[in-house]
Amino acid sequence: MSTRREAFTLADAAREFVRHPTPWMIAATLAVAAVWRGSLGDWRPTDALVPLGLLVAFPFVEWCIHVVILHWRPRRFLGVTLDPLLARKHREHHVDPRAVGLIFIPWQALLWVLPGAVVVAVAAFPRIELAGTFLMSLSVFGLVYEWMHYLIHTDYKPKSKVYKAIWRNHRQHHFKNEKFWFTVTTAGTADRVLGTGPDPRSVPSSPTAKNLHALRPVS
């Protein structure tokens, strides 16, 4: 049950953040990846390109996951309803954006996402050392995503100009119109490029922002 507080600090946010399993799972992955990468050695300039590439790509990956997977509309195929866990949990998140347990990536999903990332890293990079650098960097980005998304949905008030822009961008997605503003960790970077970051004054408020695809019965 979520409650509002007059003064919610970063320390308050951190204490709640570490009570949930997903950050610990990603942090454990980061620790293992860092030890593994350190043991491999053979650091080269190309290792620096991996986090830089992720920095550029991450807003677009975030956008694609949000649009294609999290906002997936249940479909019938060969008599079976395709409605993945991530999509179901995200719909619940839209119903109650303040429910802390629904803010985080479902831990059940990480049971296959994290091993999948290892397989992709090993298969995609020509050097095993780069695969280690990728996993280490991806874990850092994953933790940043979880922290940023969680913080936006708390009572912590934006203080910096950059965070205020990120905060406003994501909250418009939840409280104004769910068809726009899909980035979370940046102030609409991919949204601007992909056409989903309009002037909020030009966008009508959506009646289904808390009821994605109008799937829930209206009482």
Instruction: Count, in order, helices (H) and strands (E) of the chain.
Output: 8, 2
Q: Do residues 150 and 14 touch, judged by C-beta distance below 8 A?
A: no
Q: Answer yes or no: is pLDDT of 2 > 60.
A: no
The domains of the chain are located at 10-214
For 55-111, what is each residue's pLDDT tens digit? 999 999 999 999 999 999 999 888 889 999 999 999 999 999 999 999 999 999 999
Q: Answer yes or no: is pLDDT of 5 > 60.
A: no
Q: Answer yes or no: is pLDDT of 6 > 80.
A: no
For 17-71, what is each residue's pLDDT tens digit? 999 999 999 999 999 999 999 999 999 999 999 999 999 999 999 999 999 999 9
Please tell me the pTM assigned to this model.
Answer: 0.91
**Cβ-proximal residues to 148 (8 Å cutoff; 6+ apart), any chain:** 166, 184, 185
**Model confidence band, residue 217 (pLDDT cutoffs 50, 70, 90):** low
